[in-house]
Amino acid sequence: MKKIFLIALISLFIFSCKDKKKASSGNSTVPAQTEIHKELYGFWVGDFIEEGTEEYEGDMVDAPSKLNIIIKKITKDTVIAQSVVSGNSRPLLGKLSDDGGKITFVLDEPGSDKYDGRFEMELNNDTLKGKWKAYKTELKWPAKEYKLLKKQFVYNANLMLPTETSYVDWSKSKNVDQYDTLENGKIDTIGNPFYRSASDEIFKLNASTTILKEKDLKNLRKLDLQIIKNTIFARHGYAFKKSTYRQFFDPVEWYVPIAGNVDNDLTSIENKNIKLIDRFVKYAEDNYDAFGR
């Protein structure tokens, strides 16, 4: 009997030691890597440019959009970041290399979206400059160059669109037939495109600071109403998906696209004005003009 008890006691001791070892192993923690180059954290915002040039020179309707690279964490082995462009927000994972003060990044999007690709960039003084290459080379824009500057984003209800710009919706047009009498007496029909244009009212009405009244909106063009409404979202850093609005806001210096949904950030004044504007948009008409391009 004592022999059996002794064997059982030894077995219990052995299993107890194993359990303690497992518990000790389960509670062990790998020390977190030290974060480096925290001065690079934040928003890096800029435009895509045509390869070999200093700016985009093509049709602005089809132009690639404003880019925001948000750097969130940098360690020796890993960089965690995020790209925001054309209304799409994609996680980025990669590495930073520091070769004698020459800092370069290689950041990869996940690859689960057809527009995903790789960002390669170098820090040159206060500018991140590099190239994005799509994983799928059959895309219309398989490679794009860009220049980014670090920017702060702060919501400011008083921000307005710059007045020196004419706001024309180049993404939508309607053809208007014009007639020309030829020397032989025949009539030649020419179809000219006319584009939606906004009035100067978009520079006067601020739907983030003032509760609008029906009399303020009843004579406005549809494009006026759409711009006034979407300027609210632009102030909050909404990343526009529609090219109609990207062509208006992407060139604006203060605009920083940071999120695909800002509904929870809207103020009570803004929510009230959006509801009123939406009522008028349903029945408003557009003004079409002919513009040389």
d(CA 178, CA 280): 32
The answer to whether residues 174 and 284 belong to one domain is yes
Nearest to 90 by CA among 257, 293, 265, 289: 257
Q: How many domains does the chain have?
A: 2
- Total Cβ atoms within 10 A of residue 193: 14
The answer to whether residues 139 and 85 belong to one domain is yes
Which of 82, 116, 151 is where one domain is finished?
151
pLDDT tens, N- to C-terminus, the chain (293 residues): 444 434 443 444 444 444 444 444 455 566 788 999 999 999 999 998 766 555 544 444 455 589 999 999 999 999 999 999 999 999 999 999 999 999 999 999 999 999 999 999 999 999 999 999 999 988 888 899 999 999 999 999 999 999 998 899 988 788 765 555 556 666 655 567 889 999 999 999 999 999 999 999 999 999 999 999 999 999 999 999 999 999 999 999 999 999 999 999 999 999 999 999 999 999 999 888 876 44
The answer to whether residues 139 and 211 belong to one domain is no
CA atoms within 13 A on the CB side of 114: 4
Residue 201 counted as domain residue: yes
The answer to whether residues 138 and 42 belong to one domain is yes
The answer to whether residues 187 and 231 belong to one domain is yes
Residue 175 counted as domain residue: yes
Tell me the residue range of the domain where 53 lies. Answer: 38-151
The answer to whether residues 174 and 285 belong to one domain is yes
d(CA 234, CA 270): 12
Tokens 């060139």 -> residue: 251
Burial 98-135 (b: 16+ CB within 10 A, else e): eeeeebebbbbbeeeeeebbbbebebeeeebebebebb
d(CA 254, CA 251): 9
177, β-bridge pairs: 191
d(CA 68, CA 85): 7
Which of 151, 178, 201 is where one domain is finished?
151
Residue 21 counted as domain residue: no
Which of 118, 151, 184 is where one domain is finished?
151
Residue 229 counted as domain residue: yes
Residue 75 counted as domain residue: yes
Residue 27 counted as domain residue: no
The answer to whether residues 237 and 191 belong to one domain is yes
- Total Cβ atoms within 10 A of residue 197: 18
d(CA 178, CA 256): 42
Residue 22 counted as domain residue: no
pTM, full prediction: 0.80
CATH number, position 123:
2.40.128.120
The answer to whether residues 74 and 110 belong to one domain is yes
Residue 142 counted as domain residue: yes
CA atoms within 13 A on the CB side of 186: 4
Nearest to 120 by CA among 135, 103, 104, 134: 104
